[in-house]
Structure 1
Amino acid sequence: MIRHVVVFSWSPDADTDRRAATVAALRNLRTEVGGMTSLVVADDAGLVDGTADTVLIADFPDAEAFHRYAQDPVHLAVIAEHVRPILAARSAIQYRV
Structure 2
Amino acid sequence: MFRHVVLFTWAEGATDEQKATVATELRKLTEIIPEIRAYTLGADAGVNPGNHEFAIVADFDSADDFLVYRDHPEHQAVIAKHIKPIVASRAAVQFTI
Give the TM-score normalised by the residue count of structure 1.
0.96
For residues 25-36 of structure 1, the aligned pairs below 5 Å read 25-36=25-36
Query: Which position in structure 1 is the counterpart of 2:86?
Result: 86
Q: Deviations over 1:18-39 (max 9, x none)?
A: 1100111112211122311100
CA distance in 2, matches of 1:34, 1:71: 13
Q: Deviations over 1:55-84 (max 9, x none)?
A: 000000011111111110000000000100
Partner-residue secondary structure (3-state), 2:55: strand
- Structure 1, unpaired ranges of 5+: none
Partner-residue secondary structure (3-state), 1:37: strand
Q: Quick one: which amino acid aligns to residue 12 of structure 1?
A: E
The Cα RMSD (Å) is 0.8
Q: Number of residue pairs matched?
A: 97
For residues 8-87 of structure 1, the aligned pairs below 5 Å read 8-87=8-87
CA distance in 2, matches of 1:28, 1:54: 17
Give the TM-score normalised by the residue count of structure 2.
0.96
CA distance in 1, matches of 2:56, 2:9: 12
CA distance in 1, matches of 2:27, 2:2: 18
CA distance in 2, matches of 1:94, 1:31: 22
Partner-residue secondary structure (3-state), 2:36: coil
Partner-residue secondary structure (3-state), 1:8: strand
- Structure 2, unpaired ranges of 5+: none
Partner-residue secondary structure (3-state), 1:75: helix
Identity of aligned residues (%): 36
Structure 1 runs, 4 residues or longer, greater than 6 Å off: none
